Every structure is written in C-alpha cells, then in structure tokens.
Amino acid sequence: MMGFFLTIEGCEGAGKTTAKKVVLQWLSAVGREFMETREPGGTPLAEQLRNLVLSEHEESVTDTAELLMVFAARSQNLSQRIEPALAEGKVVVCDRFTDATYAYQGGGRGIDEQRIAVLEQLVQGDRRPDMTLLLDVEPELGLARAKGRAIEQGGALDRIEQEAIEFFHRVRNVYLERAERFPNQYVVIDGSQPIPEVESCIIKALQTRLGSQ
C-alpha cells in the first residue's frame, strides 16, 4: 500500500487540533497505519528550531532567518520521519507544512514567493502533500480562540501569534489563493461551523480520498 501525505493548515484558532484528532480517530477506525508530526518540529533537533522560531528573543529575528530556520526544521522532519513513514506505506498526518511557509513567511512577512520556492525545491524535491485540509476562519475569530486557549492553559501567545491582525489577514488570503490554485490538493473547511459539522466535513473528505485505498 502506498503512503499518503496529509497536511492540516489554517490560521491561529482555526481548529487544526480538533481536525487532527478527527483524522487520527478515523484512520484508526478504518485500520490504516499512520504517523503524526508537526511543523516546525517533529524531531528533537527540529523541535529546538521550532522553539527558536516561536520564542521571544533579545534581538529581533530577521524574516530571512525565520524562513531558513523553518526549512532547516523541515529538512530534518522529512529525512528522519516523513519520508521513512511514507516509504512504509503509512498515512503521514502533518500539522502544517510548506503551504504554511507560503502563507506566513510569504503572505505575512512579505517574502517573495520565488525565494520560498527555491528552498522548497532544495529541501523537498518533488515531495508535496497528497491532500491538505484547510481550516478557514476569520482572523478575528481565530485569534480570539487562540487567546482564550492561552489563558486556559496559563500560557501566553507566542512570537508569531502576537502579530497585528493585518498580518493574519494576509496569511489567510495566501491560504485561500493556494486553495484555488491547487484544487486537487486542498479541501477548504469552514472552521467557524459547530464542531460536529466540521467533523462531518473532514470525514467526508477522508472517505473521498482515502476510503477506497
């Protein structure tokens, strides 16, 4: 059985955690082997890079440094976890991947898409997600959810979550543009719906793409 690369994308508070839970439960129910991971992160070294990307620092982090750290973490995750799991025929479920880089570092930070594409080819070659679930919400709603979650957990928003609302509108716009550009990859789900309706949309998408495999 061939491996299948499934990614979950969306702005802060869009419902990615809930979506991942639904995906993993469905895969378990149908007897598919899977491996879950996240980006940036996924391996010990990549998780260290994640902390560097998301943490506050005494010095400002340049946009290029942020971009390079994200791809350095991705390179580790791909070589150590994602590619081996796909070679074993597993479904890889990844919380964010390169589409997030186009959205956040491209749309949010304003880095030229071609610069990102060069690193994408260098790090990934031809590897792209087979399917991307995009949880879409208005940034105002998503950030309100993210702030509420931080308060509940007794933590604080990370460095990127503290960006201005305009940043997240640009992020969302790029996500939606990419969904239009790659309709065979993307499934856009309204993340502002009640959770049962979101879950239903996710399961329907999984049945369509993975049910017959």
What does the domain layout of the chain look like in residue ranges?
4-210
What is the structure's pLDDT at 212?
A: 59
Angle at 41 between CA 36 and CA 46, to 5 degrees: 130
- Could you tell me how far CA 10 lies from the centroid of its own chain? 7
Distances (CA, A) of 104 to 11, 38, 180: 9, 16, 17
What is the structure's pLDDT at 213?
A: 59
3-state secondary structure 160-193: CCCCCHHHHHHHHHHHHHHHHHCCCCEEEEECCC
What is the structure's pLDDT at 176?
A: 98
The top-level CATH class assigned to 4-210 is alpha beta
The type of residue at 51 is N
The reply to whether the predicted model has a pTM over 0.85 is: yes
Distance CA 186, CA 72 (A): 25
What is the structure's pLDDT at 147?
A: 81
Residues of the chain with pLDDT under 70: 212-213
- Closest to 161 measured CA to CA, from 69, 45, 56, 40: 56
